[in-house]
Every structure is written in structure tokens, then in C-alpha cells.
Chain A
């Protein structure tokens, strides 16, 4: 009866050390403002990308079946799938990525990612925050940092997860809870999809909610002393919810049925059980409306058994993980390009690590952080290239090893954030956005 889709039961609480009350927005109102002020005093770079869509392949996707096939390796490394040529001379992809192969001129692949952390939570933390996890401090994910440093443009949340953020990860880290990702919930893959609680409860209207908000603030302001204090601390989370409810135009972002049917079919997976396609479509609608960071979370990549299931789980399977990813990613990149948004939208495809080069006794692959791949497109990166390479077996980087810290520094830079920017922890100490020593991958920028 395991509900976790990963192979171990390590949970988020292991990593939560800071800010236990922030989910309730207690007492951090001023702190939030203060931090923004501090952050803004730092020089910011000119962003190439306004927004980032992170397609997160939860569980650890196999690099050997996707972005780094080894057609010449022995059978136990090569695995059961073939490879295909791409638009780029000499660059091959796994056989399931045919749509991606056709847009390789827009895509950059890093084949020499390397990390020592082969456990799901540790790997996820490292990839999503750019920091190796530490018992002393929970680091913020890239989406949270971006939400924190960018002043919120509209009423849509700045950091959104579709359909839900991996719940083992503390999104905000040491930053205020208000920048943790908003999980839209539900199943975007269904035609009936909607985000709950966006419309007024029967009998309520904006004026009533307005008054309710005022009253909550009045009650919260009333301290344990016998009098109401002069200041009225507001509950920022409640206020953000109110602002969203009050804005019909913003709420339309979540109405996937506004999209033409043909485009929805191209993204794929409608009512199929695999919602990565429609999630990517929702992500596009969100960045179109100015949301800076959207995480599309795809489950099930922890393939300890039957690696072939990535391609098809039964004879007529059209919605296995790799073909679904291929449709979703390639369509998203093309769609963004068609709309003239690709230059300002960075798309990143990654998971917490790769998989063991040798197929195991269950015809699957186990965790392998020593070498894996990440794909990027848009956001001002130089497409049509492969950065770094792995050795003959995909076991270790052969040239240009790149760490998750380096990748994070690169993503931040593309988004206009200097990796040396300092944020403040609740106890007032400065922490860099990415660790000292992290290096920008210059080929991408």
C-alpha cells in the first residue's frame, strides 16, 4: 500500500527545518517586505527569459533511453530500445523522441550532468535548489527564489505547479511560505479539469469577501495583550487568494477548454491517464499571462523494473511516459515558437538523476547520479547543440562535467538573476542564490 511513486519512503519532513509556521502566514508579513528590499538593492542582470517552464520527470528519468542513447554499447547497457537520428548531424536520441528529434535545432542537451546524490529526496533538492541538501538549512527551489525576487506582476501566483509539486520537497526553503509553489490540483489531462474554489461560494460576492478579509486582519492584529495593536498585519496568503478570486481575466488562465481542439490533441494525452501534455499547455497559458515559473510534474520515472515500459506498457499503448513527454515537450517548444514566446520562455526538462548504465535483473535501471542529461530550449539559449558528453557506457562524464549548482546558476542567469545575489535567512544571514563556486554553462548563455 505504498502511495509514494518513488522507491523509498523518505519524506519531506526530513528536510523541513525552517519556517514551520509559514504555511499559515504567521508573523512573516514584515519579513517578506524587508527581504524584497534587501534583494532589490542587488544588481540584477538583464533577463533573457521572462519565464521558465520546468518539466520535472519525478523519480529520475533514464538518460540512456532519452537524451543520451548508446547504440554502440553492449546490449546490457544499450537496453531494449533503438535510437534515431535528429535534425542535428551526428546527434541521436532515444527512439521514442521522434518529435523532439525534429526540433533539435531549438534544443540544447547537456549530457554531462553529474552529482553524488543518488537518493530521490537528496537528488531532487540538489537539482531544484542548486544546493546539496543540508540539515542546517532548507534551500528554496528555483521557482521560489524567482517568485521572491520578482515583484508579482498580476494576481496569478508567481510560482505554480501543474498538477502538483512533488510533496517531498519543501518548495520555499528558508524563504517565506508565500513563495512556495501553488499546486493547481486536479487532473489537467481530463476535459472536465478545473481549479477548485476559484468561483464564489453561493450567496457570496466580492464585497462580502472584502469585508471578511478586513475582519481577519482585525482579529489577527488583536494581540495577546488586552488591546488591539495599532498596526494591522495582513495575512498575505489570504490576500493573494482574494485577489485571484476577484480577477476573472486571470482565472481564465486555467480554462484549458479555451484552446483549439487541434492544439490540445497535439499536446496529447487528453483523457488518457498521462497528463503531461495538457499540463504543458496549461503552463504555456500561465507564462503567457506573466507567471514567471511553472513546474510541470510528471510522475513514474523511477524505473527499477521493465525499462521498456517507458515506451509502451501494453501492445497499443500510446501514452507511455517517453512518447507522452516527446509530444508534450516538442509541441510546447513549437507552440511557444509560433507565438513568438520561445525567446522569452526557458523550457527545462530534467529529473533528480539518471539511471544505471547496466540493465538490472528486473529489466530496469536503478538510480545513477554520476552522469545524466538535461534538455533545454528557448529563453535565449543557443539551441541545436550538445554540451558535454558521457563516456562510452553513459557511466561518467567524459568531458565538461556540469553539476546541478552549475545548471542552477545558468538557469538563474538566463532569468536575469545574478547567481551571486544574496538572500536572507529568517535569522538574518546572507545566503547566495547558488553556492560559491557554481559556474555558468557558458555554451548555453
Chain B
């Protein structure tokens, strides 16, 4: 209520308040009109090529250029000082004459009046004050139920100490327009559904998210009795309580050991390990299991593979020497538990012969300084600078100076087999058409041209107070174990795409930095939480939750892990490319080793950073291959295989079923499931029939969704 009153007062006093002077301020009064009305959006005059020969900077990022475009271009016909109301800039948006963008402003609209007054006053580039910041309110807002109005507000603060309500000139847009209705004129938001909704507020080129949270049910949930093993559980349960989402119980032991083994080592737990774990009565057996898993060779192999995917290793199939050296170096870092800050630093500063010096291959991943800038920012900052190539980023703080400045840092790198820093090298800034000045994005310029700017970059990136670095990697690690990033997509961290659990992300990042940026402690922290150990079975009321962790998210196995899992259960190795049979898919140095199996199982593409494991080949292709292809059929009855060995040893059929269940799913069939298999076995007579049935059983086990997910 208070907010509404404030706004009314502001409105009553008139929209334009210029304490410094009464003259209309081009930057602070005229530009906001253009932005609010939408003249400078990407679809209209803000597009890179402009529109109808009239180009404005996107969302008013460059007032100087816009002033030139409005006042000087086409011989100043856009402004008519003699007859202001006949200026094109008035006639077009009011649709007095034909306008491609149609009707935007009423003749008596405040915006129209403001434009008119500005022209009447001489259409000069008057600016009384410098905008310092904009405050949008509320930033986060909790309401009990839907269909309640929320007044949104924006206030601009200027360097001279003055301030102004700029709500009428602020664009508020809901990320999901079917979840929140926004009335453009009154800036009132009305949530239509429960959940957490994001509204993006933009005034000139300041953007910020507004978060509205509405419980998903009427009844409070009691989460007091839920287990809490570390701060992760506190944060997650607090969010769930706010949203009134009931939680699923902890997963059973079989599910847990299979999940945590696959997540930490990329391997199915061996049958005897499973039996020992199931029999263990110790309260702390999960902790012990996790401690043990992170010390295995399999952990090193798997996390080398994970990081290799993030580093997009294997880009150049014609240079296997380089890739092999690179992967070996990476495995060593993981094995020794080297901090991720050190890893990043080494990569950024690397030079030398890529056949001998592994990290130098970092500069062979992409070609060109701009591509390198995009890659580095996505990888280490979780930020997409790409948009800022052509214009200041519309949803983020990145400017063209940031983009080309970061690219400039890499402009001297020569990335032939020997990576070196040349004496000179430039990136041309598309706006100034001059060499871009090297720049730490969002921070400061590096004036000394003779220096290798990578030092400054590495220093800044890995400093403890860097706002991006730790969060970017922690979010990826979280996503790997939990099935969804706290920020999603994981390489699109920005203010307007806030984390589902901002405080949790901060605490994880702090925790990560405090333990030396090492992967193992972080992964252990996540894996030991009660949140991680939750069942993926839903309870009434939480089935639709896909982001608040009220239940575990069942996830498909990565293509390589699934392929290795199938080989392991069959006990018959696969062969990839020209490699020795038996090499596991997760250890393939070239991530793009030709393999139809891996493609069909949904291996991620060359151009991707491989966060989501979705099969591109489609369900039918995959299932046709499962049914009639070689993947399983060619190996199921091979003489060295698991099944043939059971037959050789005359193992009882039901025992075979028990063992295969245990190897594939970490559990033995009981109850009705067990009876089902007994009945099946009872229906066949000859040994041959029995073996055929067991083949079919094993095939089905490997084709089941229980097997190919975790």
C-alpha cells in the first residue's frame, strides 16, 4: 500500500521533475521515452542494421549516437524546429504519417508531450545530471496467493544527489507471460500461478530481475522432521517451506549406492560392494561410501571426462598428440586434487608446444580471439558475452567494450601447434573501428599494450572476491549431481536469470573457495546432503516440481557412461574407433571418436558444452537400434560374456536373474517381481529355451529405463 501511495504522489507531481533545470534532459527524459515505447528494441530501430534507414542503439545504450541519428541524419528532417509537431520523430510514432512500427504514442501522451517540449526547446543535447543507479522495487516479493496485485516501481538516482520516480518509463516484462500478467500503464503485476516467477525490469540500459514467490499449495508443510546433514539441506528446505512443497523420503540403499557411484565415478557399483553396503548397519555408511568413492581411480577417470567435456576437448581430430597430452595433464590435475583456480590459471597462461605441454591445447579449442573470449567467459564466468559482440548485451551488463576488450586480451595468441604470444595483435572494435582496448570485462581497461593481458585476467578471475568464477563451476558441479543447475542454463548466469536458491549458490561458492577450490570436498559436500539422497519417487503434491529438489530428479546416464555400463554388465568390451577393445568410453581422449553407438545413446555434439543429456537421434532410432542393432545383440551371448559364464558354471537360472539384477540395478528382485521371474522360468522346458529366456531377460534389463537412468 505504501508503495502505491508513493507512486501516486510521484504521478501527481508530474512525471518530469528536473530540479537542476526545467529544460528537458535528452539523456534522462527523452531517451527513456524511446526505450519505453520500444523504438530501440532489436526488432525495430535498435537492430544492428536499424530499420527504415533509422538506427538507434539497442535499448539506448549509446545516447550520443542516438542524438546524432535523431537530430543530424537525413539533413535533420527528423526534427522540425519551426514546427515541432511536424517533426518525423513526432509524426511517425503517433502514426500521423505511415510508420512501419505502426501506432505507438497518443498525441496527448506524456511521452509525446515530452518529445514536443524537447524540440520546442531547441532539440539540444541537454543533460543536467548523470544517472548513477536505478532501484527497482520490490526485488523479491512473497505473496500468499495468486491474483493479488503487486505494484512495481523504479526510482532513478543521479550523481547530483537527486532522484526521480521513473516507473512510467520502465519496461516490466514477465519471463513467462502466462504466469504473471503485467499492466503496462500502471506497472501492476498480477501473478496467475503459484511458484517463483521472474519479471525483468528495464529502465534505459539498467536491467534487474524482480522475483515473486507464491506458495504452490494452501497448506503449510511440516519439514521440521526432515534430515539436515549440512547447509545445503537448510537452504533447500527453507525454499520448500516457503513454497509449501512436501518432500519425498530418503532413497533406499540400493538406489543410493547406484546413484552415488554413477555420479562420482561414472560406474555401476560392483555386486560385492553392493552386498556389503546393504548389510552394513553403520549410521554413517553413506559418508564412508562417499569418502571411498572419491579416492578411486574411477573418480579420477570420470571427472577428467566431465571436465574434458566442459573444456570441449577433442576439437581437432587431426591432432591426437595434442589432445592426448592435454587429457593426461587434466587427469593429473584431478588425481592430485589441484585447485580449480590453479587449473584455470594454468590454462589461461599456457603457451608452448601443444604436443608436450597439455594446457597449451586450451588455445586450440576455438579459433580467433573473439571465439576465445566467448569460450573463456562461458567456461569460467558462466556468462554469455556473445550478444555483446554486436551491441551491448540487452539482458546483462556486458558492453561491446567488455566483449572486444576481453577478445583483445587473446588477440596476440598464435594457436598453431606451438602456442605463443606474438608481439602485437589487435581486435577491431566494430563501433569505433579502432583496435579495442584490452579490458577485464565489467571492470577496468588494461592500458599497457606491451603486457600480456592474460596475467591480469587470470589474476582477476581466480581472486577470492571474483563474483563469477567459483559460482560458475559450483553450479556445474551441482547440476552434475542434482540434475539441474541452481542457475539454468549453467553458462547463462546473469542478474536477470537468477538462481532458484541464490543464498545456497553463494554458500556453495564460499565453501568451495574456503576448501581451496578443490573438486573433491565440494562433490562430497553435495553428495552427503540429505537433499541429494532423496528418492526420485514423488509424494502427493510434489510431482510437478522440477527445480526445488523436493524429490530427486531422475536423470538419463551420459552416453559414454551408459555404453560402459552395458559393456560391464555383459562383461564383453566394446571397441571405439581404432582403439584397443576394452577401453572404456569415458576414457576416450577424443570426445568425438567416431562411434554410432555413442551417437545413438545421445552423446553431446561438438559445438555444445554438453550440459543436458538429451538424445538427438530420437526415441525411435534408438529403440530400433536396441531391438535390432548390434549394441546389445552382438555381445549378449558371447562366450567370454557374463551370461555364458553363468551357463558354463551351471548356475541356477533364478540365481542368474538375481546376480544380473544386482550387477545392473544394485538390488535383487523380491516379492511379486521375483514371482514373475519364477513363473517365466517355469514356463520353459529345455536348457536351450531357458538360455534364450535368460538372454531375453538380460537384453530387457539393459534396455529398461531403470537401467539407463540414475
Contact = CB atoms under 8 A, between A and B. Distances in A.
Nearest to A229: B672
Given A23-B556, A200-B628, A181 B618 contact: yes
A23 B255 contact: no
B489 A196 contact: no
B622 interface: yes
B254 to A, nearest CB: 8
A11 B705 contact: no
A228 B618 contact: no
A137 B624 contact: no
Contact of A245 (B100, B255, B554, B627): B627
Nearest to A209: B627
Contact of B252 (A9, A216, A224, A241): A224
Nearest to A179: B619
A116 B101 CA distance: 12
B676 A228 contact: yes
Contacts of A208: 692, 696
Contacts of B616: 12, 167
Given A3-B607, A224-B537, A226-B670, A235 B252 contact: no
Contacts of B617: 183, 185
A240 B620 contact: yes
Interface in B167-187: 175-176, 178-179
A241 B621 CA distance: 8
Given A241-B624, A396-B100, A26 B705 contact: yes
Given A13-B608, A14-B489, A237-B620, A227 B673 contact: yes
A193 interface: no
B178 A237 contact: no
A11 B607 contact: yes
Contact of A219 (B100, B317, B544, B706): B706
Interface string B289-302: 00000000000000
Nearest to A203: B633
Nearest to A136: B176
B600 to A, nearest CB: 9
A33 interface: no
A240 B626 CA distance: 12
B704 interface: yes
Interface in B86-117: 100
A426 interface: yes
A180 B619 CA distance: 8
Contact of A21 (B254, B555, B605, B622): B555
A203 B696 CA distance: 12
Contact of B537 (A9, A225, A429): A225
B344 interface: no
A4 B606 CA distance: 9
A195 to B, nearest CB: 8
A39 B42 CA distance: 36
Contact of A235 (B611, B621, B630, B705): B705
Interface string B232-273: 000000000000000000011011000000000000000000
B605 A3 contact: yes
Q: Which of B176, B606, B609, B627 has the most CB of A within 10 A?
A: B627
Interface string B582-615: 0000000000000000000010011111011111
B671 interface: yes
A216 B700 contact: yes
Interface in B484-521: 488-489, 497
Contacts of A12: 608, 616
Contacts of B615: 23-24
B624 A24 contact: no
Contacts of B622: 23, 237
B696 A211 contact: yes
A426 B544 contact: yes
A24 B544 contact: no
Contact of B556 (A3, A9, A21): A21
A182 B556 contact: no
Contacts of B100: 396
Contacts of B707: 219
B620 A241 contact: yes
Contacts of B669: 222
A197 B706 contact: no
Interface in B401-453: none
A227 B673 CA distance: 6
Contacts of A204: 628, 633
A213 B704 CA distance: 9
Contacts of A427: 544
Contacts of B176: 134, 136-137
Contacts of A198: 624, 628
A1 interface: yes
A16 B626 contact: no
Given A21-B709, A224-B251, A197 B489 contact: no
Contacts of B254: 224
A429 B556 CA distance: 26
A62 to B, nearest CB: 17
Q: Which of A180, A219, A222, A225 has the most CB of B within 10 A?
A: A219
B306 interface: no
A177 interface: yes
Contacts of A279: none
Given A212-B699, A216-B704, A429-B193, A136 B175 contact: yes
A416 interface: no
Contacts of A375: none
Interface in A227-256: 227-228, 235, 237-238, 240-242, 244-245
Given A201-B630, A241-B620, A16 B614 contact: yes
A2 B606 CA distance: 8
Contacts of B489: 13-14
A247 B521 CA distance: 55
Contacts of A81: none
A97 B404 CA distance: 43
Given A157-B620, A197-B625, 8 more contacts: A1-B316, A3-B606, A197-B628, A215-B697, A215-B699, A224-B251, A224-B255, A427-B544
26 contacts: A2-B607, A4-B607, A13-B612, A20-B613, A118-B47, A134-B176, A136-B176, A177-B618, A180-B618, A197-B629, A204-B633, A212-B696, A215-B696, A216-B703, A220-B706, A224-B251, A224-B255, A224-B535, A224-B536, A235-B623, A241-B623, A241-B624, A241-B626, A245-B628, A428-B544, A429-B193
List the 9 closest A-B pairs by CB distance, nearest first. Answer: A116-B43, A215-B700, A237-B619, A241-B623, A136-B176, A197-B624, A23-B615, A227-B671, A219-B704
